[in-house]
Each structure stands twice: as structure tokens, then as C-alpha cells.
Chain A
Amino acid sequence: MSIEQNSIDPVLIDLFCVELEAQAKILYQGLIEIEKKQKDEKLLESLMRAAHSVKGAARVVNILPIVRLAHLMEDCFEISRKEQKEIPVERVDQLLKSIDFLVSLSKVNVKEIAEWLNQQASLVESLMEMLGKPPEYRPPSTSQTVNLPPKEPESQGLTKVQAKDLELEKKEKKSEKKFEKSPTLRISAENLTRLMGLAGESLVESHLLDPFADHLQEFKIQLNDIEKCVGFFKKNIKEKDLSEIAKHYLTTFHRQINLLFNQLNQCIMKFDDYIRRHVHLSDQLYQEVITSRMRNFADGVEGLPRVVRDLGRELGKQVKLEISGESTLVDREILELLESPLNHLLRNAIDHGIEFPEERLAAGKSAEGTIKIDAHHYRGRLAINVSDDGKGVDLESLRNKIVEKNLVSTEMSKQLSESELIEFLFLPGFSTSGKLTEISGRGIGLNVVKDTLHKLGGSIRVHSSLGKGISFHLQLPLTLSVIRALIVEISNNFYAFPLVHIDHALHIASNQIQEEDDQIFFDNGEEKISIVHAWKILELEDPQHSSDQLSVVILSEQLKSFGVIVDRFVGEKELVIQECDRQLRKIPNISSGAVMEDGALVLIIDVEDIIQSIAHFISKGSLMDSFKDALSHPLRKKILVVDDSSTVREVESQLLSKQGYDVETAVNGVDGWNALRTKTYDMVITDIDMPRMNGIELLKAIKNDPHLQQIPVMIVSYKEGEEEKRKGLEAGAANYLTKSSFPDGTFIKAVKKILGGTE
């Protein structure tokens, strides 16, 4: 049963997708909970309501397969409620899969929904089939032990498990006052960026009021001086020398001056008040907009209970996830970037940390392991703890492994402390797991976690207790959108080095500089640090700055340090980051930009990038991928490819660049014509059938233009007729090929004939 795109109302579909997302969340949460609290009436009802809402919404937008799917889901919950039956774990699997499907549907582009749905038709059918039948017992894929449902503990651990359950119930009742999410609003990223820009500018403008106030004060002072003058005048003139009229005017004059003075005074006071209020308001607006980037931690960990459940099932372990600090505010970008590290840590915990149920019982623990994730603010940073009550790290076996891998001698390994040992876990390719499972053991996970955190300006620490568990402590900045940086001047513009990535900044007297083999060094007593001029690395204009002192920023990575010479240090500031590469490709060595409080722009240095550039510059004496170098390839021939098909443009570009030509493309005749008027090309290759201006028209235009007529034009077209060929050649084409000439080299041969090779 296929769906027509034009039977779908785009506005309604948009709302439908929003609704799907919201209901899916409820269904996910509810399903995970229902597995632990089977037959809970309230939970079942809310699940039914959610499924029912999806059904209703799907009816409104007239997508029948979803209506049927949602109906079947609703039935599952209904049956459980009416017949007081538990939902078997296999059924929960199926329901989760169905929700996955709904979530992917909600993310599809509105214009492509019909096509997508039709493609997914067989998946939907199979989902519906599964839900319509009674569930088959499907054992978990790697079953080393039979998965023990929590209600049938072995008699040995009976009392212990029961007691634990009771305690949990008490705890849950206490925390039933669960974290309530405040109503949220959707807002596009651009909107938010504009708001940030305007709020920032408003703050800048409000600071500009101060000079005005200062000027007014000056007026007041000058007015006061005039008043004094008048006073002295009156004192020093003899009354009898003044006529009546003169006296009258003098008095009026004095009085007016005084009046003016008082009025100005009043005005100044009101103005000062106004400035104070205005700055306060702009400041609050600004802070509020910055905070709007924050989201609740809960939003970022929504999917984790499901991950834990599925993994536990697959590995034959019983695990539950406890999350606290859901209302902790986290920058939305950090939240997104946290998803991957948290996933890694969870996988590690379930695979390596949490033991199998029998192992746990034998060790006197509950059959079900617990992983706790907690988020809170600590000392102006975001602190996240991930801990499990598994078996911890076996330090001795770790010690052996390290020696085995020749990372450290046996002697040294004996002297390593617990925390030093654990650091080794973060090395790439390191894993103490004996086997490679699909999930972990490759030793990649922890290394990635550390890397991701480091990139965000954060850190990770580990504590392990053998037999009791392991905990990871992550520390992150509160927000990525604001960073503290050292502002410097380079070639008359401002640049910023994020404080967290620099070693230090200092002044070096020019007599402390040493030169050796064309390199500049300075000796800081411990090592020789190479230093380079920032303007050279960034390919800016030589600031012609000379002074006895050099301002140098020291950057380091692993073991090497480098110094970057700037014109001068300006100061330390907090900057609100703006991306600067939306229209421009990534600028080498620059990560982003910011607007300072006085409206001046500053570009933020990408320290990781610039270290690479400096290293390259020092060893090779030149810059990597120098832009200027790329420009000055005067010997390379430039070809303009004009075709409205992106595939053809791509194919031709590739073929030509491989031969060493510089290729640029245009999407139709007009675009090509425009390109020709802005740059010089050695040759044009064009299609014929294109919108707005076809190849023949373009060819004629070129031949009629005195500046362009000598450029050879080759036609490459689908049209193979003799008539077409004749028309092309008559119009002035240097050659006429068909598109079948690509594979057999005719195309390249023809180009070479016209241009004569690549020199």
C-alpha cells in the first residue's frame, strides 16, 4: 500500500513528527520501567495513552501503516492490563524496535516522507506481524547463563535479594517527587545565534553611553567656570560704572547661567540613572541568552536506560541504571558531545565491570548490578560521575599486562601507584580484556573518551576498588560558548588564545634570542624552545613591529613546546564564541571568532592546528598548504567545466585534475558566463542542454566577446547526432565529443590536444 507525497500536508506532518518524538520518549521510559514494575496500572495506562496519541496523530495525517502499528502497540498494553499479564521480555524487545522505527520516522525530511515510508514498507509489515502474534521465546544472543528474572532468586540469596527490593521500594517512594521538566519551546539554532549577537551588541552599545556621561560632566565643569567668571566680573566692576540697563542684563545673565547649571545637573543625574538601568538590563539580557544554551542533563541521558537494558540482555547480565542530577544545567553542545563518551563508559562497565549474576551472588552482592550516573556543578565546572558496583580493576593483572606490552620494565611497574597504573587504560589500543567482543576489548573506548573530554577542555580521573567497583570522574567546563582567552594583537588585529590550551605567556628580551640554522630559539633554562612569528604562520601582513622585547605565547603538546611571537599582549577576557566558517571553509589555525565588549572582532586560534603548522614550518621552512602557494601556480592550466548535472561535473573534474589541470565548475550557461567574466581560464568544456543559457548560446557569447573569443571551447554532450555536431562546430567549438568518450580516454586526449599537456 504505497503512500502519495502530495496527499501529505507538510504543515501537519511537521507537527506530527514533533508529536511522535514526544510520545516516543514517553514510550521508551515507560517500557524500561514496566520491565521492573510489571502490571503497574498507572504505567500501563500512560503507555496506552501514548500509543493512542500516536494512532490518532497518524490518522490526522492519514498515514495508515502507522495507525495500524500504533493500534497493535496499544493492544499489547491493553492485554497486559486487562488480563493482568506481564509483558514478556521478547515483546518488550519488539515494542522497543517499533518505537525505534517511529523515532527514525520523526527525523525524516518532510518532503521525503512518502518515499521513505514506501521504502520501509516491508519493515513495517514485519513489525506489525510480530506484534500481532503471540511472542516467541527468544533467548539472548550470547547466553552464558540463563537470564534469571528478578522474581525467582536462588534460595541461598533469597533473603538478601528480598531485603534489597524492600529498601529500593522505600527509596523510590521518597524520590517519587521526581524531577519535573519545565515546559520547553523549540527554537532554531539561527534564531538563537541572532539573539546572542543582538544581546551582545546591545551590551556593547550600552557601554558607549559612558563617554557621553563624561562629556556632560565636562560641560557642567565649564559652565561652572563661566558662572565663576561672571561672579568675579560682578565683584570687580564698580556699580557706578554700569548703566541701569547693563546692570539688568548682567543680573539676568548671571541668573540664566545658574539656571542652566542646575538644569544640566539634574539632567546628568537622570542620565546616570538611565545608564545604570540600561547597562543592568542589557547585562541581564545577555546572561539570560547565554544561559538559554543550557539544557537539563536529563535531556542528554534519555536513551541510556534503554542502552543499558539491551546490553545487559545481550551479555546475559542484569544491570540497572540510576541517574541523578537530572536537573543539572549543561551546555547543549557539551550534552551532545557527551553522548559518545557516556556510551563507551557504559559499555565498558557492562562488559568488563559488572559480573554475571551467579558470580555476583557468590560474592555476596545482589544479582543485579547497578551503574550510577550523576551530574552536578562543582566549583564552576560540570562534574559527572559514572560508577558501577562490579568487580573493579585487577591492578596486578593490569601491571602484568603493561609489562607484557613492553610499555614499562618489570622494575618500574612495581613502583607505579594505583592511579598511575590506571592511566595506562587510557592509552590507545590498550585493553585488559582477554577477548574481543563486538562491544569492547578493542581498547579503543577509553582512549576516545579521554580525547573527547580533552578537546572540550575537560578531564577524567578513575578510582577502582577491587571487587567493589570502579568510578570515573569527568570534569568539564560549564559552557563551550564562553571561554577565557588571552587576547593578543597580531598585524593590527586581535586574536585570542584559549587559556586552557596555552602554557604561559611571557616577554623575552631580544638579547635572549639565539639563532641557529635559520631557526630562532630561546633558552628558558630547561630547554631550547623554537619560536616563530605569528604573522608568518597565519600569512598576514608583516606588522613591521620592532621592539627590544618580544611578546611570546608558549604552546605545548605532548613533549614539545613552541613559542609564538605576537605584537603585544592585550589582556585576558571571557569571550562568547561565534562560528566563522558557515560560508567560508575552515580557516587553517583558526577555530572560531568572537565580538569583544567594545564591538571589536577577535579570531580565536585553534591551538591544536597551529602547533602542527608551526612544527611543519620549522622542519620544512615553509607552510603546509599555503594559500598563497596554491594561488601562484601560474603554470597550471585552468579549465572551466559547465554542466547542469553534478555527476558529470564531478566525473570531468576528477579526470582533469588527475592530469594536473586546475578545474572549476559552473552549473549552467549563465553561471559559466559569469565565471568567465571574473576569472581567466585556458579552456571551457560545456554541455549543450542547460537551463537559463544553453551551451550553444554560451559558445556564441564567448566568441562574440573580444576578451574571451580566443579561449578554446569544447562541447561534451549526450546528443550524438551529426546535425548537433555540425551546429556546435559552426558556432565555433574547437571539438565536439559525446559523453561516452570518458571511459576510453578520448576525452582526455582531446583536452590535451587543445591545451597541449599540463605545462
Chain B
Amino acid sequence: MDSLSVLVFRLGKEWLALSTIFIKEVTHSKPFHAIPHHGHSILKGFVNIDGEMKLAVSLHELLKVEPISGIHQSNRMIAIVNENDNWVFPVDEIDGIYHWVTKEIEPIPVGSSSNYTKGRMVQESKSIGLLDEELLFTGLKRSLQ
């Protein structure tokens, strides 16, 4: 594929992108319902998306991104899906959907210590990390154990 459609968003100081194939929707923040017996840092609870109960997680926690205090946080959440796995996480800012030319994405070698990203793209003087969806989804699944 020559181009990749991605949704660009910010967590803390980091700009990230995820292929739109996995994006179900972007919604306003909603209250979470705590999950009994789970004193979890990544799993935040249940949230109502389109009338169904979905799992809410903190991608900040998973990717170990520091929240920035003082900067106004948006009240948006992104709902992602991969086959039968659904996850919802709050984000600090939504930029928008872009079409990236695959050739121009800088690959990140496997085994380096960058977090869950498989590529990098510079756009409007922002360095945006392209999330590796396979790592992301397995990482999220693993965090449930």
C-alpha cells in the first residue's frame, strides 16, 4: 500500500499515530465504572460506548507517558478495535486524520527500546510515532493478566 491513513493524537508530550483501520470512533470522555477486585493501573474500568460496555484503559500508563500538568486536557477518548478486542482510552489532544506516504515513514528497528512504535514521521514540526498495532493489542491483552 502506498499510503496509510492514520489518526494523530497526543498523550502527554508525545504525539502518536494509529492506522485508522483500528479506530472505531472518537468520543467525548465519559465516566468509568470501577471493576471490583482490580486495583489496576492500566485497566481503568468499564465505559459506555454506543450502548455497550467496553473496557477503558490508560494508554498513558501502558506507554509510560508522563501526564503534563497545567496544560488543558481535552475531554476526548479513542475507541480502538482489533477483531474481537475492544479498548477505549482517554487522550490529551486529537489532531486529525492524515494520509501518510508509506515510503516517507522512518522505520524504527525491532529490538530498540522505543515504546510500541514502528515508525516515525515528521509533520508540522511535530515528531509523530506510528504505533505498532500488534504490540499495542498484545500489550493491552497482557496487561489484563
Contact = CB atoms under 8 A, between A and B. Distances in A.
Nearest to A667: B138
Nearest to B142: A675
Interface string B76-115: 0000000011100000000000000000000000111101
22 contacts: A197-B50, A197-B51, A200-B51, A201-B48, A202-B51, A539-B38, A540-B36, A541-B34, A580-B53, A583-B141, A584-B144, A588-B37, A589-B36, A600-B31, A601-B47, A601-B53, A603-B33, A603-B46, A674-B116, A674-B142, A678-B139, A678-B143
A204 B138 contact: no
Contacts of A429: none
B110 A692 contact: yes
A600 B52 CA distance: 11
A499 interface: no
A125 B145 CA distance: 49
B53 A593 contact: yes
B39 A584 contact: no
Interface of A: 190, 193-194, 196-202, 204, 491-494, 538-541, 578, 580, 582-585, 587-590, 593, 595, 599-603, 626-628, 631, 664, 670-671, 673-675, 677-678, 692-693, 697-698, 700-701, 705
Contacts of B65: none
Given A493-B33, A593-B46, A674-B116, A583 B51 contact: no
Interface residues of B, number: 36
Interface string B7-42: 000000000000000000000001101111111000
B36 A697 contact: no
Given A196-B51, A493-B33, A494-B33, 10 more contacts: A200-B51, A202-B51, A583-B85, A583-B141, A584-B144, A589-B37, A595-B52, A600-B48, A603-B36, A674-B139
Q: State the 4 A-B residue pairs at the shortest beta-carbon distance, nearest first.
A: A201-B51, A197-B51, A197-B52, A538-B36
Contacts of B86: 583
User: Which of B37, B52, B53, B85 neighbours the largest number of chain A CB atoms within 10 Å of its CB?
Assistant: B37
Given A193-B52, A199-B51, A671-B138, A677 B46 contact: no
B111 A540 contact: no
B62 interface: yes
Contacts of A540: 34, 36
A412 B84 CA distance: 59
A196 B51 CA distance: 8
B55 interface: yes
Given A664-B145, A673-B111, A675-B142, A587 B53 contact: no
B36 A587 contact: yes
A538 B138 contact: no
B135 interface: yes
Contact of A539 (B36, B53, B142): B36
A602 B33 CA distance: 8
A174 B30 CA distance: 60
A633 to B, nearest CB: 14
A587 B37 contact: yes
A491 B145 CA distance: 24
A677 B115 contact: yes
Contact of A204 (B51, B53, B113): B51
B54 to A, nearest CB: 9
Contacts of B145: 664
A595 B35 contact: no
A595 B110 contact: no
Contact of A678 (B34, B85, B134, B142): B142
A590 B53 contact: no
Nearest to B136: A674
Contacts, number: 112
Nearest to B145: A664
Contact of A674 (B33, B36, B53, B135): B135
Interface of B: 30-31, 33-39, 46-48, 50-53, 55, 62, 84-86, 110-113, 115-116, 134-135, 138-139, 141-145
Contacts of A698: 111
Contacts of A693: 110-111
A582 B50 CA distance: 17
A588 B144 contact: no
B39 A595 contact: no
Contacts of B111: 673, 693, 697-698, 700-701
A698 B39 CA distance: 31
Contacts of A673: 110-111
Nearest to B115: A677
B123 to A, nearest CB: 26
Contact of B36 (A197, A578, A588): A588
A674 B137 CA distance: 11
Contact of B51 (A492, A585, A595, A670): A595
Contact of B34 (A491, A664, A677): A491
B145 to A, nearest CB: 7
Nearest to A632: B39
A149 B92 CA distance: 80
Nearest to A626: B37
Nearest to B30: A599
Contacts of A196: 51
Contact of A493 (B34, B48, B138): B34
A587 B53 CA distance: 14
Given A670-B135, A673-B111, A539 B39 contact: yes
A627 B39 contact: yes
Contact of A601 (B33, B39, B110): B33
A671 B111 CA distance: 11
Contacts of A677: 113, 115
Contacts of B33: 493-494, 593, 601-603
B8 to A, nearest CB: 23
A628 B51 contact: no
User: Which of A580, A599, A601 neighbours the largest number of chain B CB atoms within 10 Å of its CB?
Assistant: A601
Given A491-B34, A595-B51, A595-B53, A601 B46 contact: yes
A701 B144 CA distance: 25
B40 to A, nearest CB: 9
Contact of A595 (B38, B48, B84, B142): B48
User: Which of A202, A587, A595 neighbours the largest number of chain B CB atoms within 10 Å of its CB?
Assistant: A595
